[in-house]
Structure formats: structure tokens, C-alpha cells
Chains A and B, each alone.
Chain A
Amino acid sequence: MNVTLEIQRFNPEDDKKPAFKKYSVTVDPTDRVLDALMDISRNQDGTLVFRKSCAHGVCGSDAMRINGRERLACKTLIQDVTDDDNTVIKVEPLRHLPIQRDLMVDQNPFFDKYRSVKPFFFPDEMPEEKENIQSQDERAMFDDATKCINCSACYSACPVLDKNTNFIGPAAIVQAARFVFDSRDQGLEPRLGVLDTADGVWPCENHFECTRVCPREIKVTKLINLTKREIKKYREARGEKTAEPEESK
């Protein structure tokens, strides 16, 4: 079948502002949108740039907006976004991150926030030449959060980031939750200084956009709410107040 990709183009070396350009490609309905993009860059227009690597949804390189919704181009088949011959598929870069060129965005602000939650293990104690014992139920507690591939789709989809650019965003909270709910880790304590602040977990308003777009099907909003609850529990036990603003309670 034949489809048209309408792709947002922008090269700061030459352009004042982004503009759309149309490309006609012959594809199979079961081709990935990534295949169509590769066909364009290799055989039609070498100036089109985008990130890619694993091409099957595990490396997180090629998140972009396809027909207005955050998706991985390698995990989206043509037939997922259109049934008809000659339809137009609109492709744009992620939001909330500066455009570097075409479909490439600067992920450094995203990774800065990721790093801010201390996404690494703080063990309670280290066993000697053995593994920590962890029950299957304890392991299941944080399984969902381990699936995150840092693709930034949720960060782009989050409506809160439209108005509060300082919000650490859904993915950073998921990364924190991966440790907060790990029975082997010190959990909340080392991360409270980031999570329990005005730009930490509290700006989340439960729009569920992150959960809707997550290509790994992580229940992101649920993890954010569980983390909020854990912080409240922690503060209550110590007779302290959380940083949750009064108006949002």
C-alpha cells in the first residue's frame, strides 16, 4: 500500500521554525513506522534525522508522536495507525524537550531528572558471596517499575509538564518507585529530598496520559500514587508533614 508521512522538519542551522514535509512511501500494512522512516532517509531524503537502534521496542530510542500520540516508531505498525491506502500519517518530535533537529529531541533534561531521584541501589546490608533473599511476592512488588526503558514518551504526554516545567515527570518517579518498593533497598529515605517536594511527586494530577502512552504498558499513574501514599505513611509515622500543597489535597 501507499501512505504519506507528514513529518515535522527543523534544522536550527538553516530554519527559523519547524515546518511539515510530505513523503510518499510504499509499505506493507505490517511494516513498522520506523521502516517507513528508514526507507525515506536511506532512499529519498538523507537529511531526515531521527534516533533508532533495537527496532523492537526495548531500547527506547525512537519515541515520537505519531498521529498526535506518543509511540515508539519501531513498535507501531502502519496498520495500527491507518487502514486505508493513501492516508497521511503525521510524525512529530516529543514535547517538553528542546528539539535538536527534526525528530531528535535533547533528552538531557529528562535524564537530569532521572538521575536526581538517585536511581541506584542503596542496600540495607551486603551478604557475603551470596544473594540477598527476596520472596517472590516481594519481587513482584516492584516488577512493573523495572520495565522502564527511559524513552520519554510519558514525559512528552504529561499535561502537568505543560504548565510546570520543573515537575520531575512520570518516568523519574517510576525509577524511584523501582527502588522504593524493593525490599532489599533502603527505599524512600534516600530519595525523599527529591520526591517529597513541590516539584516531586505532588504535581501529578492523575490525568493518566503517561499510563496510556507507555510502550512498556507500565501502570505509571498507579506507581505515582503508590509512591505518594508511601510518602504520606512515612511522614505520618514521624508526625511530619508532607510537601503536598494545601490546595491539591
Chain B
Amino acid sequence: MVHEFDAVIVGAGGAGLYAALEASKTAKTAVVSKLYPTRSHTGAAQGGIGAALGNVDEDSPEWHAFDTVKGGDYLVDQQAAKILAEEAVQAVYDLENRGLPFSRTPEGKIDQRRFGGHTRNFGEAPVHRSCYAADRTGHMILQTLYQQCIKNDVHFFDEYQVVEAVMDGNRIAGLVVFELSTGEVHLFKAKAVLFATGGFGRMFKITSNALANTGDGPAVLARAGIPLEDMEFFQFHPTGIRGMGILITEGVRGEGGILKNSKGERFMERYAPPLLDLAPRDMVSRAIMTEIQEGRGMRGDRKIDDYVMLDASHLGRDVVYAKIPDIADFCKTYLAVDPAEKPMPVQPTAHYAMGGIPTNIHGQVCTDDVVYDGLYAAGECACVSVHGANRLGTNSLVDLVVYGRRAGRHIADYVKNADFAHLPEDAAKRATTRVSKLKGEKGKHPGELYERMQGVMMEKVGVYRDEKPMSEAVAALQKMREELGEVRVQDGSENFNQEVLSILELENLLDLSLITATTALARTETRGAHSRRDYPERDDEKWLKHSLAYLSGNEVKLDSKKVDTSIWEPKPRTY
């Protein structure tokens, strides 16, 4: 079937829904989502959304922008960070005005808590900047935006998986989309397409990400010849539940929780004295891995899956159950631990992709030389770049609200004067052939390949990186991409064929894994979350630039994009 819309939004998390709300004011808009909208992973964000409201401490957007730039180890585009911090304030008021139930101060204002790397007066001390709704801020944002979409009659295509983006030169022409319930392949013709498909943490074995976070948007665009930016920068959140990776919010440390090693030492005293447990995430994750590798993990065997303890028991039962009730619930469910009584076993968990689809401050996909007309991206799958080499806690929600809204507004304007590009009638042919080939002869199950990819990425492209393991990872991933051709489904049905979907997802993850491993191998410096044992220093002379990676067959070709350092001169990043 062929559909025609002014704008198609791919993904129904925070960025997609906000963009849809804005775009649908003038444009005939459809939201295409692989999940029911309220299932999106925005709903799992816990700790809060950073904005310099100054409700608890004195604060300013300028300080927020600076923290963001410094937190990102100066690979942040500084004007974009300034916009992020300035527009965050009104964005939070807008969400509240649309019903979002923020927690409140005693005066009835939006309450704020401390979060890693957010400071007063350019690094003096931690500041209360994160606006929160208990420990389910993302859930509230997702619910509020979906509610507003219902109120405004936004048109949804639920459980539709995008498989290809069709370009007409440097213009978007439309999308090829797989409908899960029928197996039908649809064509969506559109003047503007926004990708807001979220993250791809599922390429790693231990991750906080949902099973659905398979990087569909970036992978689809990479295969359409669009470069991806800064893919070597992947954030490991310091505190995932041991073995499972389920996120324990930084808000626990914001409320006073403390990390301890097997000797009971508060080891962050040795790594970041002024900010301690509230240092940025890359630093805390490295500190944990160093403790483990030096034998001070809880088991003491120096293995990559050893763990440390996060202690919140001294905060008292009232604080734990009022401020982090869901965390208490997770710990009781999965660990049989009550955090009001006992510390929680934690280890770093793959959490957030700083890199993704390169955009400018309007959400338009672009390189230094080209703007791809009608093509947009926002949220985690995009790279504006406001997170640079390491994202600060709470800035993901800020990013998707501020830049989801900006992209939606730009689309609403753009479609007024734009035409449809040429979408060939047989555009769906390749996808249809691919799906029937999967169902054709007998072949391997996808399970083993999936696990192998996650294991290789976790061990060889994880918190600490080195040339040899990463070269091995690149070779292994290239081999796996070839092996994927031998994978077949057992399920021959047309309706609800989850197996076809899972192989399409695996293909996306393999493509993005190869790009991540290749760009990480190429960047011979340490910056933010990209931490090379063989190149332990930041190298501004050679590497103060964004990487751009083009997927070409089984190879990745590298290029670069300028970094905007127009406000603050890069300095050593110490806390």
C-alpha cells in the first residue's frame, strides 16, 4: 500500500511525539512506530530533566551550557549546547503546563535534585538542576506527550517497522515500512521524514536499553549512504543492576548514595575529590572498572563482570521510598534487596549513544557541505551534537524535548513550500524480496549470532579500549555480517512474524556495531567515554573534530565534521 503524508515521524518516544505535536499543527503528519507509543524507552528514564529554573539553588542556563560542554570533553557544538540550556527552562514549563506531574518543593514549585557533572558557577560545587517526578520522569514525559497527541488527533501507525529510507539525490523521498500484523510492505511518500528511533544499546551484552533499542533509524540511513557522526562515543552508565544491566538512576547518588568497593572504601575520593560520586558518568564508570581490575571488586577476581556496591541505606526508609520508589521496587524484584536496608550490587551498563545521525540545530540531517532536504533526526538517534564525547545525566530528556520540538517546528514550516521528491513505484521491491528470502530455504537461528555480537562488543569495545581487541572486533563483526546472510526464519507466517522483525533488528545492530568498532579503532586519543589504554591523553591537535562514518559494503569509510568551539576554549577536563 502507498501512503502520502507531508511529514512522517519514525518513532514514538519523547522526541518523536514532541516533533509530531509541533509538525501536525500545519502538516499532515503520521507517526510510524515499531511499538505502541507508551512502550517507548523514554518511559524508562528515571532521574530527571536538567533545566536552570533556580527553584532550589541559584542557577543559570550559561552554567548548564558550560557543564554540558565540559562534560562532553569539548566535543560538544557549543551554540547547540547554549540553545539546549536556554530552551530547557521554557521546555520544562511547557511540559508542566501540559500536565506533567513534577515533584514539588515545599513552596509548590517544581522540585530539583543534584546530578552528576551539573555544577554551580562553572564547576564550583554540585547544583540542584534536575527537575524530576520521583524516579519516573521519563514515564511522565512519555505519558504527557502521548496524552497531548491523543488530544490533538495525531495519526499513529503502531507496530510498523521502517526497513529502508528512499533518497532522491540529497532529498528524502519516502520510506519502506514492514507492517508487523500483516507482513505487508508499505510505501510512505513524504515531503519530510524525521527519525526519532532512540538508542542501540542492545549491541552490548550488559545494557540498560530496551530490547527494542536496535538503532533502526541510524542503520537504515547508513545503508542509504548517509554518514553517522561520533559513533565511537557510547556511554556506560556506572550503576546497572549486576548481571542484568537494569538502570539504577544517578538520582540515587544525587540524593546522597555512595559507591563502595570490597574494602568498604568510598573509592570516588581518589578519582574526583570535589564531585565524588557525582562526577560525570564516564569517570565513575572508569573508576569502577579500575577498582575491579585492581582486585577491589566485590568478588575480587578482576574479571570484567565483577561489581561494586551502591549504598543508599543511610538515607533512611522515608527518603528511599519517597525519592526513588521504583529503584526500591527493581531491587526487591530482581535482587531481593531492599535498598533502605542493604547496598545494591552494581556494574557499568551500556546506556546511551552520544553519536548518531548528524544534524544541525533545526534537526536537519547534514554534513559540513550537504543538507539533506526534508530529512530530520532528533533524540538519542541524532547527534546535534550537544553531548559530545560524554552526555551528562538528565541531558537526554532535555535533548529530546528541546530538539524534538525544534525539529517539529522546522518541519511544519518546511513542508509549506516543499514538493514531494520522486519515489519509484518499485521502491518496496528489495524489502519484499529480502523478507521472502528469509522465509525461503532452511538456515541458522539468529540467537547465537546475536549473543556473539553482544559478547564481542562488551569485551572488546567497552569501557576501556585498546587497539588489538578492537581490530579483532572489527574482523569478527565483518564475519558476522556475512554470516547473517545464512540466517533464516522458521516462521513462514505473514501475521505477527516476530522472527522476521528480530532478524531485521539484528542486521541493524550489526551494521552499527561495525561502525562503532571501526570509528573507535580509528580515534587514537582518549576523550570522554572513549577511553584508550594505548592513547590515554586527549589530543586536540589531531582529534578535536567529529568523526563521520559512511557504511560501504563490509567496510566503513571515515571523514570528519567541524566542532563548534565558539564560546569556551577547550581546557583540560578536571573536576
Contacts and interface: CB of A to CB of B under 8 A. Distances in A.
Interface in B165-182: 181
A226 B93 CA distance: 30
B97 A57 contact: no
Interface string B91-104: 01100111101111
A101 B103 contact: no
Interface in B140-199: 140, 143-144, 147-148, 150-151, 181
Contacts of B445: 42-43, 46
B39 A60 contact: yes
Contact of A133 (B107, B181, B326): B107
Q: Is the interface of A mostly helix, strand, loop or mixed?
A: loop
Contacts of A212: none
Given A123-B97, A130-B93, A131-B96, A55 B43 contact: no
B226 interface: no
A100 B493 contact: no
Interface string A28-42: 001000000001011
A53 B97 contact: no
A58 B496 contact: no
A242 interface: no
Contact of A100 (B35, B151, B495): B495
B333 interface: yes
A52 B136 contact: no
A136 B106 contact: yes
B383 interface: no
A41 B445 CA distance: 9
A118 B152 CA distance: 11
A139 B104 contact: yes
Contacts, number: 159
Interface residues of B, number: 63
A185 B246 CA distance: 34
B109 A101 contact: no
A142 interface: yes
A43 B106 CA distance: 54
A59 interface: yes
Given A107-B36, A126-B97, A101 B140 contact: no
A54 interface: yes
Nearest to B213: A53
A57 B330 contact: yes
Contacts of B407: none
Interface string B43-64: 1100000000000000000000
Contact of B496 (A75, A101, A123): A101
B43 A54 contact: yes
A191 B447 CA distance: 48
Contact of A131 (B38, B93, B330, B493): B93
A52 B211 contact: yes
Nearest to B207: A55
B305 interface: no
A45 B490 contact: yes
Nearest to A146: B101
Contact of B97 (A127, A135, A179): A127
Contacts of B212: 53
Contacts of A184: 99
Contacts of A142: 101
Interface string A210-221: 000000010000
B486 to A, nearest CB: 15
Nearest to B241: A56
Contact of A54 (B148, B210, B447, B496): B210
B499 A46 contact: yes
B108 A42 contact: no
A18 B500 CA distance: 23
Contacts of B324: none
Interface string A46-76: 1101101111111111000000000000010
A27 interface: no
B555 interface: no
Contacts of A136: 103-106, 108
Among A12, A39, A136, chain B packs the most CB atoms within 10 A around the CB of: A136
Contact of B211 (A55, A100, A133): A55
B88 interface: no
A59 B147 contact: no
B38 A150 contact: yes
A203 interface: no
A75 B342 CA distance: 21
A120 B153 CA distance: 12
Contacts of B96: 131-132
A141 B528 CA distance: 43
A100 B41 contact: no
A120 B151 contact: yes
A143 B326 CA distance: 13
A3 to B, nearest CB: 18
A196 interface: no
A139 B99 contact: no
A112 to B, nearest CB: 11
Contacts of B41: 53-54, 59
B469 interface: no
B446 interface: yes
B110 interface: yes
Interface string B201-236: 000000000111000000000000000000000000
Nearest to B45: A58
Nearest to A185: B99
B450 interface: yes
Interface of A: 11-14, 30, 39, 41-43, 45-47, 49-50, 52-61, 75, 77, 100-102, 104, 107, 111, 115, 118-121, 123, 126-127, 129-136, 138-139, 142-143, 146-147, 149-150, 179, 182, 184-185, 217
Question: What 7 A-B pairs come out closest when comparing CB atoms?
Answer: A121-B99, A42-B447, A46-B490, A120-B147, A133-B108, A120-B151, A46-B499
21 contacts: A13-B494, A30-B334, A41-B502, A42-B445, A47-B491, A49-B496, A53-B39, A54-B43, A58-B43, A59-B38, A59-B210, A77-B333, A104-B496, A119-B147, A131-B96, A131-B109, A131-B110, A132-B97, A143-B101, A146-B140, A149-B38
Interface of B: 35-36, 38-41, 43-44, 90, 92-93, 96-99, 101-110, 133-134, 136, 139-140, 143-144, 147-148, 150-151, 181, 210-212, 244, 246, 326, 329-330, 333-334, 445-448, 450, 489-491, 493-499, 502
